């Protein structure tokens, strides 16, 4: 198969980029050809993307519709795999191409104008479909402008509704969890259009199991933005009684605030902000850890970083938000804590630091869960089967249309 990947960035950034790179690599290893239609560079690990995609079609200033059409005509894909892309002109070109399109929905951008499905002041999780309440009382038409210049930017409600309508024309919407499936159903997508393919990390049976040493190392890995709840994690860590060390890997616009908060809470000697570290370099830290934390307070679509830590036999402590409960089972491979309950979060971390045999047992169950339920090879095979199916269905519909036209003639 010839698969054209579509993404709004080029290079490493967060979970969506990790998934895209792993998926394209494995599909090419299986004999398929992958091209990339993409947005601007991230400045991170771009060399690997250059090596991976020999045929690339970057958007230029101006007419993205034309660039998309050129990519389709040049690459001649059998199917299109959209990751993050909101440009309506691009979506229009893809939807009208006659080539079957699957869209991997990584987050809430499609149906939430704020993109994170919770109200920023109260942090209350939203359970509504996209509608006029997004304009009032939510006020999601105004958002912070993170690109410099004027501090606020306008988000168009009508443009978002058009984006949803264009996505309804795609052959498949791919989601990681049933939680995400329910969000799409709430927004009017056809149940037959939605498939669940959890974007699991590549498993490595040779990965070393964590040491659970007396260092009592706690690992956080992810973006440092408000929805990821690093501030809530710090407030929880301030309540932990056992000696510990916490390493926070990742970057984002909330890092400065969190560093100041760590100082105010008296945690500077126990919490270190390490910034962005490539996934391969995290291995050593996982091996010396005792537990991992996922502190997200926004409703995570999936939270694949938790599965990555489970690969090393680490138990996970996380808030019950979004799709996390579909891979973290309380008391089995870690602890699922009621949303925003800092006291319970601290107590569960204390419990695992004090009882290393329990931590090892839960971590071992998590590693087995990866083998049984979240298997990377099965994930890629599921995508292969899906693409073959939508390609064949498209060909059958076109043949039927042609036959019907000839019969009428």
Range of the domain at 276: 217-366
Amino acid 203: pLDDT: 66
Q: What pLDDT does 408 receive? A: 53
- 380 — pLDDT class (breaks 50, 70, 90): very high
Instruction: Give CA angle at 354 (352, 356), nearest 5°.
Output: 65
Confidence (pTM):
0.88
Domain membership flag for residue 75: yes
Average pLDDT score over residue span 187-198: 95
Model confidence pLDDT, tens digit, residues 320-375? 999 999 999 999 999 999 999 999 999 999 999 999 999 999 999 999 998 888 88
Q: What is the pLDDT of residue 288?
A: 94
* Cβ neighbours, 10 Å, residue 143: 15
Alpha-carbon gap, residue 232 to 154, rounded angstroms: 29
Tokens 């052959």 belong to residue:
171
Q: Is residue 210 part of a domain?
A: no
Instruction: Give yes or no: residues 361 and 397 share one domain.
Output: no
pLDDT digits (tens, 9 = 90+) for 200-224: 877 666 678 899 999 999 999 999 9
212 part of a folded domain: no
Q: Look at 100 and 145; give whichever has higher pLDDT.
A: 100
Cis status, amide bond into 137, omega within 30 of 0: yes
- Contact, 231 vs 261, CB < 8 A? yes
Q: Are 38 and 111 found together in one domain? A: yes
Q: Which residues contact 81 (CB under 8 A, 6 or more apart)?
A: 3, 4, 5, 6, 23, 101, 102, 104, 387
295 and 387, same domain (yes or no): no
Domain-embedded: residue 209: no
Residue 296: what pLDDT? Answer: 96
How many domains are contained in the chain? 2
Contact yes or no for 16/91 (Cβ under 8 A): no
121: in domain: yes
Band of pLDDT at residue 61, cut at 50, 70 and 90: confident
- 338 and 240 within one domain: yes
Q: Which long-range contacts (CB under 8 A, 24 or more apart) does 188-195 make?
A: 188/129, 188/164, 193/168, 195/386
DSSP code per residue over 137-183: TS-TTEEE-TTSSSSEEE--HHHHHHHHHHHTTSSEEEESSHHHHHH
The string of DSSP letters for 306-349 reads HHHHHTTT--EEEE--BGGGGT--BTTTEEEEPTT-HHHHHHHH
- Condensed to tens digits (0 to 9), the pLDDT of residues 322-332 reads 999 999 999 99
Q: Let me know: does 171 contact 394? Beta carbons within 8 Å.
A: yes
Claim to verify: residue 14 and residue 133 sit in the same structural domain: yes
Q: Are residues 71 and 197 in the same domain?
A: yes
Helix (H, G, I), strand (E, B) or coil at 109: coil
Percent of the chain's residues with pLDDT above 90: 74
CA angle 177, 316, 198 (to 5 degrees): 20
Query: Domain check: are 155 and 182 in the same one?
Result: yes
What's the pLDDT score for residue 204?
A: 64
CATH number at residue 279: 3.40.50.2000
- Tell me if 150 is assigned to some domain: yes
Residue 227 sits in the same domain as residue 120: no
Query: What's the longest Cα–Cα distance across the chain?
Result: 82
Phi, psi values for residue 7, rounded to 5°: -150, 150
Return all residues near 37 (Cβ < 8 A) that are at least 6 apart.
4, 5, 6, 7, 57, 59, 67, 68, 71, 90
With CA atoms as reference, report the closest residue to 321 among 345, 303, 309.
303
Write down the pLDDT at residue 149: 60
Together in a domain, 362 and 386: no
pLDDT the model gives residue 206: 64
Judge contact between 99 and 77, C-beta under 8 A: yes
């Amino acid at each position: 198969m010839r698969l054209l990947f579509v993404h709004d960035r080029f290079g490493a950034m967060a979970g969506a980029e990790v998934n895209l790179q792993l998926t394209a690599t494995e599909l090419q290893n299986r004999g398929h050809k992958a091209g990339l239609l993409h947005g601007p560079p991230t400045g991170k690990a771009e060399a690997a993307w250059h090596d991976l995609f020999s045929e690339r079609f970057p958007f230029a200033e101006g007419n993205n519709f034309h660039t998309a059409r050129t990519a389709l005509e040049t690459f001649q894909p059998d199917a299109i795999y959209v990751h993050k892309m909101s440009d309506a002109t691009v979506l229009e070109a893809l939807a009208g191409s006659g080539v079957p399109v699957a869209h991997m929905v990584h987050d809430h951008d499609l149906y939430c104008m704020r993109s994170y499905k919770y109200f920023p002041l109260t942090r209350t999780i939203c359970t509504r479909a996209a509608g006029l309440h997004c304009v009032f009382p939510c006020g999601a038409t105004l958002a912070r402008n993170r690109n410099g210049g004027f501090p606020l930017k306008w988000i168009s409600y009508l443009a978002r509704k058009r984006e949803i309508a264009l996505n309804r024309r795609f052959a498949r919407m791919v989601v990681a969890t049933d939680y995400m499936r329910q969000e799409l159903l709430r927004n009017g997508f056809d149940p037959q259009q939605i498939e669940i393919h959890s974007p699991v990390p590549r498993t490595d049976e040779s990965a070393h199991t964590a040491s659970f040493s007396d260092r009592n190392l706690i690992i956080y890995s992810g973006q440092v933005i408000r929805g990821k709840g690093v501030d809530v994690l710090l407030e929880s860590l301030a309540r932990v009684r056992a000696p510990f060390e916490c390493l926070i890997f990742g970057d984002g616009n909330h890092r400065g605030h969190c560093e100041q908060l760590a100082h105010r809470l008296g945690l500077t000697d126990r919490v270190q902000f390490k910034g962005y570290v490539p996934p391969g370099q995290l291995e050593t830290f996982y091996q010396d850890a005792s537990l991992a934390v996922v502190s997200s307070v926004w409703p995570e679509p999936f939270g694949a970083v938790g599965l990555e830590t489970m690969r090393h036999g680490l138990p996970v402590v996380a808030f019950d938000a979004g799709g996390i409960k579909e891979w973290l089972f309380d008391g089995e491979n870690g602890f699922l804590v009621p949303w925003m309950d800092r006291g319970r979060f601290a107590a569960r971390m204390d419990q695992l630091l004090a009882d290393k045999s329990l931590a090892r047992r839960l971590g071992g169950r998590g590693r087995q869960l990866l083998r049984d339920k979240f298997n990377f090879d099965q994930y890629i095979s599921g995508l292969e089967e899906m693409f073959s199916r939508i390609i064949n269905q498209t060909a059958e519909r076109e043949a039927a249309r042609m036959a019907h036209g000839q019969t009428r003639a």
